[in-house]
Amino acid sequence: MKILIAEDEKILNESMVSYLSGSGYVCESVFTYSAALEKIDNYAYDCIVLDIMLPGGTGLQLLKYLKEDRKTDGVIIISAKDGLEDKLSGFKLGADDYLTKPFHLSELSMRIEAIIRRRNFNGQSVITAGNIEVDIQSKTMLANKKNVDLTQKEFQLLLYLLINKNRILSKNAIARHLWGDDMDYADNYDFIYTHIKNLRRKIISAGGDDCIRSVYAMGYKLQTP
Amino acid sequence: MKLSAKYNRINIAATIAVFILGSVCYYFVLRYVLIHQLDQSLHSEQQEISQYVNAHGILPEIENTKEQKTSFAPVAVLPAKPIAKSVQLYNDLEKENELCRQYIFPLKAGNKDYTVTVTKSQEETEDLIQIIILITILMVALVLLVNFIINRKVLSRLWNPFYTTVNYIKGYHLSGSEGLHLEKTDLDEFSLLNESLNQMSLRAHNDYTVLKKFTENAAHEMQTPLAVIRSKTEVMMQGAELKESSMQHLKEIEDAALKLGKLHQSLLLLAKLENNQFVPGEKVDLKKIITEKINEKQDLFQARHLILQTSLEEVTVSFHTHLAEILITNLLNNALRYTPAGGQVMITLTGDALVITNTAFNDALDKSSIFQRFYKPENSPEGTGLGLAIVKEICVTAGFSIDYFYADKEHIFVIKFKSIY
């Protein structure tokens, strides 16, 4: 899976590469409009992470160019501009997703995964970890080959953990992924604990691998054997 | 009061005052002239009599007529000067008193002294004055009427360009087109007004654009380092087997970065609201938005064991979808944050108001400062302190009114959709 990251802020670009490489993606970094254009012209990517403000041009211009050239690369726009217009024009030009800075890398990883899955129609929609299988399309889950009934939130939580497997997800990141960015209730994340507890209970009682670990002070991770 | 009405009022009052003053002067001048004329004729009578007496040495035979009477009265001492005066005298013919002008002068006839009184009726003079005054008053009334009608018709036509301009300005919004484009009129004053307005709106629009650009750029410039901090903490977090204390530090850094991001977003939103960057005017289905937001936060209400009751009517208001979402989200977050566990939250939506009631931790909040930025009551859970300020500002933008009450250990927020203007 090849990903192009067009972001002029070097440190941020580096962080994204570092995190996404760890998830098994091959990442290439560019920092300017012209460099991005050159890469797009010469190579095909599964997903392009596009910052709106680039030295020498805008991400939206690149997006327009991509679509006019009938490239099939998936595009996720990242921008510090919370402007609704940018978001709308981004989607209008054919972007697959839009993330407002700052964001959690785990969230970016999740969105990229979703874009790639949507684009590869013949790609498998089942993700596994140990004896746990999650079918994203039918939204079902098997643990030890047994069907496990999950609530919508539990399913979202499990998928988030699975896609970012072996990564620590902070409670902040989980809360924002499940309840949206306007989630403001940061004093107490007990309700996440409740969901995790229920999820683990269901997996264990079906005979699945108990692979969700809690990490002191920070959050949770799904550890694959 | 309309300018034309005010102008008319002043104009008419001044005209009437001038005419009254003029009429009074006119009356006295006219009267003086006419009486002077009467006196002249009486004086010539005196001369005739004097001449006769000088020539003949005896008093003339006087034939009194209806208009003029002459009488002689012998006196012991002659008066020094002749006297002219107006007196009421009884008229035998018409059986009534009438105003007469008398001229009394001394006369020596032979050796005897006389005073001669020549009397002429003044009625005709008075009649003449009356008729002249009447005609004058009628003329004044006519002039006033014509003036009034002309002012009304002409002024309202003259002011047409003004109303055109006003209507244009009413429909103008800074965030919309680039400045006003008011046309020239054939009146210099209105052309000047239009031109000044055009220039002013252009300047305002430019300032607005600069400010808008600035806030957007500021957002970009600040969010980027924040994004760096967050991504770095996230990457660090994955670093194999961190010490527990390091984890705690990292978590605190992440919390602070999140809070800073939230604060920054909120302040930016407030700035945008104050710059009127949102133009309400979309039809917004409030019930739908409230239901959606409640569903999103259902878990959170449950986690805190809050009892959520709703009574929602179908309500569509002229608003802004994005702002409506922020408004509802902030109010719900507020209720979530400031209701003690096990407390009650009640949301009522009717045709003219949205009421959110929640059980209070403490006593009533300070009504005057609750909507101020960074207001944080004592002993309350930590928030950004901007939620209600944003709610208030959104209400102002939408033309809603918001009020806070405290009753029976409950905080009550009432938003009335009826425009407060």
Residue A166 has pLDDT above 70, yes or no: yes
Do B231 and A194 lie within an 8 Å CB cutoff? no
- Chain A residues touching chain B at CB-CB below 8 Å: 9, 11-12, 15-16, 18-19, 22, 53, 79-84, 100-106, 153, 167-168, 170, 172-173, 179-180, 182, 184-187, 190-191, 194-195, 215-218
The HSE-up count of residue B333 (CA atoms within 13 Å, CB side) is: 25
Tokens at B125, concatenated: 């003079």
Nearest to A104 among B234, B268, B337 (CB): B234
Comparing alpha-carbon positions, the chain B residue that sits nearest to A86 is: B216
Distances (CA, A) of A140 to A117, A125, A159, A203: 16, 11, 11, 13
Angstrom distance (rounded) from CA B324 to CA B290: 9
- Cβ pair B349, B311 in contact under 8 A: yes
Do B322 and A84 lie within an 8 Å CB cutoff? yes
* Residues of chain A with C-beta less than 8 angstroms from the C-beta of B337: 184-185, 187
The label of the residue with tokens 């992440």 reads B254
Do B296 and A82 lie within an 8 Å CB cutoff? no
> Please, what's the largest Cα pairwise distance for chain A?
57
Angstrom distance (rounded) from CA A184 to CA A187: 9
Q: Distance from first CA to last CA of chain B, Å, rounded? A: 20
Nearest to A153 among B224, B265, B299 (CB): B299
Do B228 and A9 lie within an 8 Å CB cutoff? yes
Q: Amino acid identity, residue B197?
A: L
- Cβ pair A156, A141 in contact under 8 A: no
CA angle B410, B413, B416 (to 5 degrees): 145
Tokens at A123, concatenated: 């790609």
State the complex-level ipTM: 0.76
Angstrom distance (rounded) from CA B44 to CA A158: 133
Nearest-neighbour CA in chain A from B311: distance (Å): 24
3-state secondary structure A121-189: CCCCCEEEECCEEEECCCCEEEECCEECCCCHHHHHHHHHHHHCCCCCEEHHHHHHHHHCCCCCCCCCC
User: Is cis: bond before B340, omega within 30 of 0?
Assistant: no
Nearest-neighbour CA in chain A from B238: distance (Å): 6
Angstrom distance (rounded) from CA A159 to CA A112: 13
Give me the mean pLDDT over the A135-160 stretch.
86
Q: Amino acid identity, residue B304?
A: R
3-state secondary structure A14-68: HHHHHHHHHCCCEEEEECCHHHHHHHHHHCCCCEEEEECEECCEEHHHHHHHHHH
Q: How many C-beta atoms surround the C-beta of residue A201 within 10 A?
A: 11
- E-strand ranges in B94-175 read 96-109, 112-121
Do B238 and A22 lie within an 8 Å CB cutoff? yes
3-state secondary structure of B187: coil
Closest alpha carbon to B286 in B308, B332, B318, B309: B318
What are the tens digits of pLDDT across the range A47-92? 999 988 889 988 888 888 888 877 778 899 988 766 667 777 888 8
What are the tens digits of pLDDT across the range B140-186? 889 888 888 887 788 778 888 888 888 888 888 777 667 788 888 88
What are the tens digits of pLDDT across the range A15-42? 999 889 888 889 999 999 999 999 888 8
Angstrom distance (rounded) from CA B113 to CA B107: 6
* Residues of chain B with C-beta less than 8 angstroms from the C-beta of A84: 322
Residue A178 has pLDDT above 50, yes or no: yes
What dihedral do alpha carbons B263, B268, B274, B277 form, nearest 10°? -140
Distances (CA, A) of A43 to A3, A18, A46, A64, A218: 11, 21, 10, 17, 39
Do B382 and A187 lie within an 8 Å CB cutoff? yes
Angstrom distance (rounded) from CA B59 to CA B25: 42
Instruction: Write phi, then psi, for B134 (nearest 5 degrees).
Output: -60, -50
Angstrom distance (rounded) from CA B101 to CA B119: 6
Angstrom distance (rounded) from CA A119 to CA B264: 35
Which residues are CB-neighbours of B164 under 8 A, at least 6 positions away?
none
Q: What percent of chain A shows pLDDT beyond 70? A: 93
* Residues of chain B with C-beta less than 8 angstroms from the C-beta of A193: none
Q: Amino acid identity, residue B294?
A: I
10-residue stretch averages of pLDDT, chain B, 421 residues long = 78 85 86 87 86 83 78 80 82 77 82 83 82 85 86 81 87 75 84 90 87 76 84 83 82 86 84 81 89 86 88 89 90 87 91 90 80 76 80 89 89 81 41
Nearest-neighbour CA in chain B from A87: distance (Å): 13
Closest alpha carbon to A49 in A18, A28, A19, A71: A28
* Residues of chain A with C-beta less than 8 angstroms from the C-beta of B236: none
Instruction: Write phi, then psi, for A75 (nearest 5 degrees).
Output: -130, 130
Which residues are CB-neighbours of B405 under 8 A, at least 6 positions away?
B411, B412, B414
pLDDT at B385: 82
Closest alpha carbon to B402 in B414, B412, B386: B414
pLDDT at B421: 41
Nearest to B223 among A102, A182, A194 (CB): A102
Nearest-neighbour CA in chain B from A60: distance (Å): 16
CA-based torsion, B281, B283, B288, B290: positive or negative: positive
Angstrom distance (rounded) from CA B225 to CA B223: 6
Nearest to A9 among B224, B247, B336 (CB): B224
Closest alpha carbon to A110 in A159, A57, A180, A42: A159
pLDDT at A33: 92
- Cβ pair B402, B413 in contact under 8 A: yes
Do B244 and A217 lie within an 8 Å CB cutoff? yes
Give the DSSP letter string of B223-267. Answer: HHHHHHHHHHHHHHHHSTT--HHHHHHHHHHHHHHHHHHHHHHHH
Angstrom distance (rounded) from CA B228 to CA A102: 8
* Residues of chain A with C-beta less than 8 angstroms from the C-beta of B296: 179-180
Pick the range with the lowest mean pLDDT from A147-156, A194-203, B172-181: B172-181
What's the gap between Cα A43 and its chain centre? 23
In this predicted model, which residue has the larger pLDDT, A6 or B84?
A: A6
